[in-house]
Structure 1
């Protein structure tokens, strides 16, 4: 389970976040590209835009469930 005390600094404020456990596998970016981006160095992903509609929320939840290292959290 993601740890909100280890959120990556690139995350925008809001309920969804990526923590330091991210391995940069790109699953979340592939699943929800409107909400997740890879860092420039490719080492990790982060939330660059919080979900704004039901579709984005569903894809963000799918990303959370699909993360192989449980690095995505939702405090909403």
Structure 2
């Protein structure tokens, strides 16, 4: 389970976030590319945009469920 204390500092505020246990596997960026972006300097992903529509919400939720290390959190 993602740890809110370890949130990547680049995450935009809101419901979804990525913590620093991210292994940079690219799955969330493939599942919801408008919402998850790679930090090329540190090799981890962060949330760049929170979902606004039901389709975007579904994509972010699926990315969270698929994350192999559970680095995506949901504060909602």
Both structures adopt the same fold (TM-score exceeding 0.5)? yes
Q: Report the alpha carbon displacement of residue 42 of structure 1 after superposing the two structures with TM.
A: 6.1
* Separation (CA, whole Å) in 1 of partners of 2:27 and 2:41: 16
TM-score (norm 1): 0.96
CA-based RMSD of the aligned residues comes to 0.9
* Separation (CA, whole Å) in 1 of partners of 2:24 and 2:60: 16
Aligned residues: 76
Unaligned runs of 5+ in 1: none
TM-score (norm 2): 0.96
Q: Report the alpha carbon displacement of residue 41 of structure 1 after superposing the two structures with TM.
A: 2.6
Q: 4+ residue runs of structure 1 moved beyond 4 angstroms?
A: none
Equivalent in the alignment of 1:21: 21
Equivalent in the alignment of 2:33: 33
